[in-house]
Amino acid sequence: MAWQLEWQFCIWLKPLLANNMTTLLIKNGRVIDPANKIDKVTNIFIQDGKIKSVGSQISKADRTLDTKGLIVTPGLIDMHVHLREPGKEDEETITSGVSAAINGGFTSVACMPNTDPAIDNEALAEFVYLQAKRAGKSNVFAIGAVTKGRKGEEISEMGQLYRGGAVGFSDDGESIKNSEVMRRALEYSRMFNKPIINHCEDTDLVRDGVMNEGYISTVLGLSGIPAVAEEIMVYRDITLAKLTQGRLHIAHITTKKSVELVRRAKEESINVTAEVTPHHLILTDDYIRTSNFDTNYKVNPPLRTKTDVQALREALKDGAIDAIVSDHAPHSEEEKDVEFNIAPFGMIGMESLLGVILTELVLKKVITLNRMIEALTVKPAQILGIPKGTLSVGADADITVIDLNKNWEIDPSTFKSKSRNCPFAGWKVKGKAVHTIVKGQVILP
- Active site residues per annotation: 327
Rounded CA separation 139/102 (Å): 10
Nearest to 409 by CA among 347, 356, 331: 356
> Do 65 and 442 contact (CB within 8 A), yes or no?
yes
SS (H, E, C) 203-214: HHHHCCCCEECC
Can you say whether the dihedral through the CA atoms of 92, 93, 94, 99 is positive or negative?
Answer: negative
Whether the CA torsion 288, 291, 292, 296 is positive or negative: it is negative
Rounded CA separation 322/367 (Å): 13
Under DSSP, is residue 116 helix (H, G, I), strand (E, B) or coil?
Answer: coil
Q: Are 43 and 2 in contact (CB under 8 A)?
A: no
Element (H, E) at 99: helix 94-104
Task: Write the CB contacts of 233 (distance below 8 Å, at least 6 apart in sequence).
Answer: 175, 198, 200, 201, 202
Report CA Rg, the chain.
Answer: 22
Strand order of the sheet with strand 76-81? Answer: 76-81, 106-111, 139-142
